[in-house]
Amino acid sequence: MLCLCFGGGAVVGYFWPVVRVGVLALLAVPAVFLAARYRIIAYILLCATCLLLGWWRGGAYRTEVLRYAGLNGQKVTVVAIASDDAVYGTASQLTFEAGHIVVNGRSMVGTMQISGFGVPMVFSGDEVRAQGKIFVARGNDVARISYAQVAVLKKGSSPLDNFRRHFAAGMQTALPEPLASFAMGLLVGQRNTLPIAVSQQLQMVGLTHIIAVSGYNLTIIVHATKRLLGKRSKYQYIATSVALVLCFLAIAGLSPSMVRAAVVCGLGLATWSYGRELKPSALLALSAAITIAFNPQYAWNNVSWTLSFLAFFGVLIVSPIATKRLFGGREPPMVLAIVIESLSAEIMTMPYILLIFGQASLVSTLANVLVAAFIPLAMLLAAFSAFTGMWLPILAGVIAWPAVILLTYMLDVVTLLSKVPHAYVQNVAFPISGMVMAYIAALFICLVAWRHGARVHKMI
pLDDT at 460 > cutoff 50 = no
Q: Which residues contact 301 (CB under 8 A, 6 or more apart)?
A: 138, 139, 140
Tell me the per-residue pLDDT of 22-79, one tens digit each, with 9 for 90 and over: 566 666 666 666 666 777 777 787 888 888 888 888 888 888 888 898 899 999 999 9
pLDDT, residue 402, reads: 92
- Residue 331, judged by CB atoms within 10 A of its CB (0-12, 13-18, 19+), counts as exposed
Q: pTM of the prediction?
A: 0.74
Q: Is 94 helix (H, G, I), strand (E, B) or coil?
A: strand
What pLDDT score was predicted for residue 254? 63
| Contact predicate 54/292, CB 8 Å | yes
Question: For residue 74, what pLDDT is reported?
Answer: 92
pLDDT at 213 over 60: no
* Strand (E) or helix (H) holding 113: strand 112-117
- 358 pLDDT more than 90: no
93-144 pLDDT, tens digit per residue, is 899 989 899 999 899 988 899 999 999 888 888 899 999 999 998 777 889 9
Look up residue 259 and give its amino acid: V
Pairing relation of β-strands 143-154 and 112-117? parallel
Cα dist. 443→93, 240, 277, 324, 351 in Å?
45, 34, 22, 17, 13
Distance CA(316)–CA(282), nearest Å, equals 11
DSSP lists the bridge partners of residue 98 as 82, 112
User: Would you state the pLDDT for residue 455?
Assistant: 46
Residue 195: pLDDT over 70:
yes
**Domain residue limits, the chain:** 2-67, 72-156, 165-451
Instruction: Give residue-wise pLDDT tens across range 413-426.
Output: 999 999 988 888 88
Supply the pLDDT for residue 14: 85
Q: What is the pLDDT of residue 87?
A: 82
Per DSSP, 109 falls in state -
Q: CA 396 to CA 404: how far, in whole Å?
A: 11
Distance, in Å, from the CA atom of 139 to the CA atom of 158, rounded to the nearest integer, reads 28
Query: pLDDT band for position 459 (50/70/90)?
Result: very low
State the Cα–Cα distance between residues 233 and 240, nearest whole angstrom.
11
Please give the pLDDT value at position 174: 92
Q: Residue 127 and residue 158: Cα distance in Å, rounded?
A: 12
Point out which residues pair with 87 in neighbouring strands.
95
- Reported as a single tens digit per residue, the pLDDT across 300-346 is 877 777 877 888 788 878 888 888 877 776 777 767 777 787 788 88
State the average pLDDT for the chain.
81
pLDDT cut 90: percent of the chain above it: 16
Rounded CA separation 131/454 (Å) = 58
Cα–Cα distance for residue pair 330/337, rounded to 1 Å = 12
Peptide bond into 421 cis (omega under 30): no
What does the alpha-carbon distance between residue 43 and residue 48 come to, in Å, rounded to a whole number?
Answer: 9
Q: Kindly indicate the confidence band of residue 175, based on its pLDDT and cuts at 50, 70 and 90.
A: very high
Q: Residue 25's pLDDT is what?
A: 62
Residue 36 has a pLDDT of: 62
Up-side HSE of residue 152: CA atoms within 13 Å toward CB?
16
Q: Give the architecture (CATH level 2) of 72-156.
A: Beta Barrel (2.40)
Sign of CA pseudo-dihedral 287, 265, 284, 110: positive
Residue 75 β-bridge partners: 133
Is the pLDDT at 287 greater than 70? The verdict is yes
| 239/176: higher pLDDT | 176
Query: Closest Cα partner for 459 from 209, 219, 214, 213?
Result: 219
Q: What is the pLDDT of residue 414?
A: 92
Three-state DSSP class for residue 95: strand
**154-164: pLDDT as tens digits:** 887 677 777 77
